[in-house]
């Protein structure tokens, strides 16, 4: 019996998709507050969605995803929407992170020419600050949610570490390969979509595949 892999389904905009995430017991549900993202949700819609989620009997960690946003705005969203984690993407430093009053998931973009030693150094720095880490593919035009897989072998010894999510191009076709690296957590968005919209069948299938793998 393998350790339970944490599952984060990101880019939720509609309650019927959120309900599927909840019913299938994903550990984290992500709302994207990045305007240039096609999965962007504005404050009022997020407020309504979270209200509907809270009315259910299901529990999950609700994550707000921010990119190049001010600490004041992030804190305001976190407080008013009662979010559990702030996922920080784009450009940031320790000073900015220190001004965010809530638990954080720090998004690190992996480039093709990165090496394991440098990645580990960055991760260990943020882990000493008690932040969770999300490893995603680098794309100069997009801060995150690229839907592209990076070279997982670069982080094969890192993603087993507690509080580290593997993201970037995950789907039902490659999740078994990813799980062979025994990641602490996995994050998926485009891999559970059909024609750019979240697909409940794909969400349920992905979560079930992860849970089935753990029983081997």
Going residue by residue through the chain, which has 216 residues, state the pLDDT in tens, using 9 for 90 and above: 457 999 999 999 999 999 999 999 999 999 999 999 999 999 999 999 999 999 999 999 999 999 999 999 999 999 999 999 999 999 999 999 999 999 999 999 998 888 888 999 999 999 899 999 999 987 665 545 556 788 888 888 888 889 999 999 999 999 999 999 999 999 999 999 999 999 999 999 999 999 999 877
Q: What is the pLDDT of residue 1?
A: 46
Place of tokens 């990101």: 10
Q: Are strands 85-89 and 61-67 parallel, antiparallel or unpaired?
A: parallel
Cα–Cα distance measured from residue 180 to residue 159, given in angstroms and rounded to the nearest whole number: 11
Tally of domains in the chain: 1
Cα–Cα distance measured from residue 185 to residue 169, given in angstroms and rounded to the nearest whole number: 14
Catalytic residue, candidates 10, 20, 84, 95: 10
| 1 lies in some domain | no
Alpha-carbon distances of 116 from 90, 110, 159, 209, rounded to whole Å: 21, 10, 11, 28
Catalytic residue, candidates 94, 136, 139, 199: 136
Listed in sequence order, the residues at least 6 apart from 121 whose beta carbon sits closer than 8 Å to its beta carbon are none
Active site residue 20: no
The CATH number of the domain holding residue 205 is 3.20.20.70
Range of the domain at 132: 6-214
Question: Quick check: helix, strand or coil at residue 96?
Answer: helix
Q: What is the pLDDT of residue 203?
A: 98
Q: What is the pLDDT of residue 146?
A: 58
Which tokens in the block code for residue 47?
A: 């407020």
Say if CB 15 and CB 201 are below 8 A apart: no
| 176 lies in some domain | yes
| 69 lies in some domain | yes
């Amino acid at each position: 019996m393998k350790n339970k892999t944490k599952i984060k389904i990101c880019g939720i905009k509609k309650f019927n998709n959120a309900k599927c995430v909840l019913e299938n017991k994903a550990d984290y549900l992500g709302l994207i507050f990045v305007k240039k993202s096609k999965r962007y949700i504005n404050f009022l819609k997020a407020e309504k969605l979270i209200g509907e989620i809270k009315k259910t009997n299901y529990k999950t960690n609700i994550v707000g995803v921010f990119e190049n946003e001010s600490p004041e705005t992030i804190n305001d969203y976190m407080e008013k929407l009662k979010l559990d984690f702030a996922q920080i993407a784009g450009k940031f430093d320790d000073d900015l992170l220190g001004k965010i009053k809530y638990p954080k998931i720090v998004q690190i973009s992996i480039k093709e020419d990165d090496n394991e030693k440098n990645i580990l150094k960055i991760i260990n720095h943020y882990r000493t600050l008690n932040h969770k880490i999300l490893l995603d593919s680098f794309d100069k035009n997009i801060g995150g949610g690229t839907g592209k897989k990076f070279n997982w072998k670069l982080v094969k010894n890192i993603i087993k570490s507690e509080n580290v999510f593997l993201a970037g191009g995950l789907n039902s076709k490659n999740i078994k390969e990813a799980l062979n690296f025994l990641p602490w957590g996995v994050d998926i968005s485009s891999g559970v979509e059909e024609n750019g919209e979240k697909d409940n069948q794909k969400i349920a299938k992905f979560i079930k595949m992860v849970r089935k793998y753990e029983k081997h």
